[in-house]
Amino acid sequence: MLKLLMLILFLIPLVYRNKSWHLVHSAIYLATFLFMLLYTTPYMFSYVSSYLGCDVLSYGLILLSFWICSLMWSASQGVMNSGYSRPLFKFLILFLLSMLYLTFSSTNLLFFYIYFEASLIPTLFLILGWGYQPERVQAGTYLLFYTLLASLPLLVGIFVFYDSFGSLFLPFLQGWAHNSCSLMLYLVMILAFLVKMPMFLVHLWLPKAHVEAPVSGSMILAGVLLKLGGYGLVRVLGALASSNLVYSCFWVSISLVGGVLVSLICLRQSDLKSLVAYSSVAHMGLVLSGIMTMNYWGTCGSFTMMLAHGLCSSGLFCLVNMTYERFGSRSMLINKGLINLMPSLSLWWFLLSAANMAAPPSLNLLGEMSLLNSIVAWSWVSMVALMLISFFSAAYTLYLYSYSQHGTFNLMSYSSMGGYVREYLVLALHWVPLNLLILKSEPALLWI
């Protein structure tokens, strides 16, 4: 695991060289393909060294981090063209990638916490430095305080764990499932992850951060940072299983009811980016419900859905940014009739919208099928909320697609232009893995 970390760290001095944009970008793609060659055995950690290790859950999310960071670089051509603080921008992406890599590969709970918190800093700088509106300061404050307020008690909880069990080695946590803990410790241990996912009621930081972030910030937020919460829950709930059996009904109920309400909020959005951001909250509500059921299908379905949502949501944010760069607005009242102006880009809108509503053959379909099975097996009553979430998911995605692509287009949009090859490549690299991974889905569903 250290060899890839060294590769990322040794790229950092290169960012301060002139004309190193494509050199570092190519090196990240190379690191992605090198990591793909690592084979992880199910049921155990592989490549264990220096508090780092990798199992199937870590492998999938590290690969997603590498892939999304590579695509962030491709999508941020505006930063390269403008020349605005390019070295700092490149450094922040590499620093964020190294923190995510360390977070997902840590085998020690304390190290996991440190890297989990450290990944917040470059994201905050991306929003504050390259965001579009003055409200980005407020969005950054929301992001910082929501996350920190919930995360600092987690540090105390980790110390209590160490005092009780004498070890923070993550694979050992599964063996403590029979130990029940106090309600306070249980809440402290999972609250940080619930906010990071984000769960409904503590989700307000996410739409604000998304709307104010540049395209690279939105891609990494939707693609990887929301998955930190799900990953942390899967790791920690092994030690809190007996307590979670008592309280999980609260989290599942809030997530499912919240998913329905957020889907209704999506139908009232006039901002393209805001709509995609709220749809992330609805999808992560399903993921949280699947993890909290604590059965096999739920955990595997949540993992699959996290990978699928990371690719799909990131691709949609890229599309929204492409229209924003051309029209200077994300309002649906201005972005209309795009099929008349950019028919080939409209095809990508359709393909990624279809994936967002879990149409076959996307990986989202596999994740949703597993999650529906696990949640209905947990409680029949949840079927009502699941039906509404599935229906409204299709409704707001069709609303997004039909409103933006059809209708009378704005006369000022005559001054816009079609897509670049680079943009089509970025969209293809989101969509192709999303639809090809379902052909080889055993690693996602047969790893516990």
Calpha distance 244→228 (Å, rounded): 19
Higher-pLDDT residue of 442, 205: 205
Higher pLDDT, 303 or 446: 303
Enumerate residues 6+ apart whose C-beta is below 8 A from 396: 263, 266, 267, 275, 279
* Span 253-310, pLDDT tens digits: 999 999 999 999 999 999 999 999 999 999 999 999 999 999 999 999 999 999 999 9
| pLDDT 10s digits, 181-226 | 789 999 999 999 999 999 999 999 999 999 999 999 999 999 999 9
Eight-class DSSP state of 362: S
Average pLDDT in the chain: 91
Q: Cis check for the bond before 87: say yes or no (omega within 30 of 0).
A: no
Rounded Cα distance between 62 and 146, Å, is 25
Q: Which residues pair with 106 in a beta bridge?
A: 52
Residue bearing the bigger pLDDT, 330 or 416: 330
User: pLDDT grade, residue 235 (50/70/90)?
Assistant: very high
Using pLDDT thresholds of 50, 70 and 90, give the confidence band for residue 176. low
The closest of 186, 227, 212 to 277, measured between CA atoms, is 212
The crossing angle, in degrees rounded to 10, of helices 109-118 and 86-105 is 160
How far does the chain reach from its first CA to its final CA, in angstroms? 21
- For 55-105, write each residue's pLDDT tens digit: 899 999 999 999 999 999 999 988 888 878 899 999 999 999 999 999 999
Averaged over 139-162, what is the pLDDT? 92
Give the pLDDT confidence score for residue 268 in this predicted structure: 94
Percent of the chain with pLDDT over 70: 97
Q: Are 52 and 2 in contact (CB under 8 A)?
A: yes
Partners of 169 in beta bridges: 108
Alpha carbon of 172 to those of 59, 167, 299: distances in Å? 19, 8, 18
DSSP assignment of 195-220, as one string? HHTTPTTS-THHHHHHHHS-HHHHHH
**Amino acid, res. 350:** F
Nearest to 438 by CA among 374, 369, 373: 369
Q: How many domains does the chain have?
A: 1
Q: Taking residues 45-54, what's their average pLDDT?
A: 86
Helix/strand/coil (H/E/C) assignment for every residue in 241-265 = HHHHHHHHHHHHHHHHHHHHHHHHH
Distance between CA atoms of residues 149 and 299, nearest Å: 27
Has residue 48 got a pLDDT over 90? Answer: no
310 near 227, Cβ under 8 Å? yes
Whole-angstrom distance, CA of residue 339 vs CA of residue 299: 39
Which residue range(s) make up the domain with 96?
Answer: 1-445
